[in-house]
Amino acid sequence: MNIPIPEVPVRRPEITRRRTAALAMFFGAAMLAFGQAQAADHLKSWNDGPAKKAIVEFVESTTHKGSPGYVPPAERIATFDNDGTLWAEQPMYVQALFAFDRVKVLAPEHPEWQTQEPFASVLKGDLKAALTGGEKALLEIVMATHAGMTTDEYRQVVKDWIATAKNPVTNRPVLEMVYQPMVELLGYLRGHGYKTFIVSGGGIEFMRPWAEQTYGIPPEQVIGSSIKTKFEMRDGKAVLVRLPELNFIDDKDGKPVGINQHIGRRPTAAFGNSDGDRQMLEYATTGSGVRLGMLVLHDDKEREFAYGPATGLPDSHVGTFSQSLYDEAKQRGWVVISIKNDWKTVFQAKR
């Protein structure tokens, strides 16, 4: 999407009388009204409310030449968490579904998995039992299922899997559980010269094969957790082999580290939905000048899921939005997006 940025936002009326402060105020208001009218075309799935207002004001302020908050195009960086921010993460992360399916596909090559945890429980379909081993169990599953092939092979495996993967609760394709308002926001920001990045705790190579088509975000603007890779020549072709060894965890404290490693600039705006995004928002919003931090609060049981435990919503191990994060948001002026109140539509129309 390419939204032309008007050099002069409002056509200057033919006024010969002297300029007054009142007139300047009128222009300011008109400029904002114009911006909002323009945004309305691109943020169709957002209700008029504090969240949409904050987005439009931020974009107007950072992209109009002469505005005190003006940010040069090269420095316009917006970072987005993925799970729970750009698409649904309940009842569990999509990548966990992928890993469990991979265990089933690979089981014939691993007879020992029939009795070895956490694989045995996955094969029995008892995911709860499989995850009693906590992070270590999940990591074991990821290592066993995501490594041992080239990056090209892995990309194809992910592409094939995601084309038919469905959410176990709604039975809708996972790629249809992308948030329409956030896709519009990505386009609106890009239309105003922002480079949009994903900064996710999920696997960098798991997201890249579909992020471009789904979000318009190219592979080089996807940042995530990773395992190590090793360069090899195979049949005269250079390949990278995925190793069962952690390289980087792009979560919590790791998000600013990943941002600095990949982008080398402090983001102007950052968007998340959980405690894992706290440091990314701190990093973005404690920079100088106008900054925007936003957090999606999942408070819509009817249309999506409801979890927090912020504001008394049910607790969740997936995408925890704690009360302390909520309190920090209030204190730092981060804008909380209420799915219930701020989003006219939640999911994308069928693709």
Closest to a second copy by CB, 68 vs 236, is: 236
Exactly one of 44, 124, 172, 230 binds a second copy (CB under 8 A); that residue is 230
CA 83, CA 43: separation in Å to the nearest integer? 21
Least distance CB 257 / a second copy (angstroms): 5
Residue burial 16-52, b: 16+ Cβ < 10 Å; e: rest: eeeeeeeeeeeeeeebbeebbebbeebbebbbeeebb
Question: What length does the chain have?
Answer: 351
Nearest to 89, CA basis, from 201, 6, 183: 201
Q: Where are the alpha helices (DSSP H) in the chain?
A: 21-42, 50-63, 94-106, 119-123, 127-130, 134-146, 151-162, 180-191, 204-215, 254-262, 278-285, 323-332, 339-342
Does 279 help bind a second copy (rule: CB under 8 A)?
yes
Closest to a second copy by CB, 9 vs 209, is: 209
Exactly one of 233, 312, 317, 330 binds a second copy (CB under 8 A); that residue is 233
Residue with tokens 């911006």: 35
Closest to a second copy by CB, 156 vs 247, is: 247
Least distance CB 307 / a second copy (angstroms): 26
Closest to a second copy by CB, 64 vs 291, is: 291
Site stretch for a second copy (CB under 8 A), options 159-167, 170-178, 253-261, 342-350: 253-261
Does 343 help bind a second copy (rule: CB under 8 A)?
no
276 touches 88 (CB < 8 A): no
- For the beta carbon of residue 148, count every other beta carbon within 10 angstroms: 15
Mask of contacts with a second copy, 105-144, x by CB under 8 A? ----------------------------------------
Closest to a second copy by CB, 300 vs 328, is: 328
Least distance CB 231 / a second copy (angstroms): 4
Residue type, 186: L
Site for a second copy in 143-172 (CB under 8 A): 151
| β-sheet bridge partners, residue 198 | 80, 222
Q: For residues 198, 202, 205 and 209, what is the CA-based torsion angle, rounded to 10 degrees?
A: -60
Residues contributing to the site for a second copy (CB under 8 A)? 74, 77, 151, 195, 204-205, 208, 212, 218-222, 226, 228-231, 233, 236-238, 240, 247, 253-254, 256-257, 260-265, 279, 282-283, 286
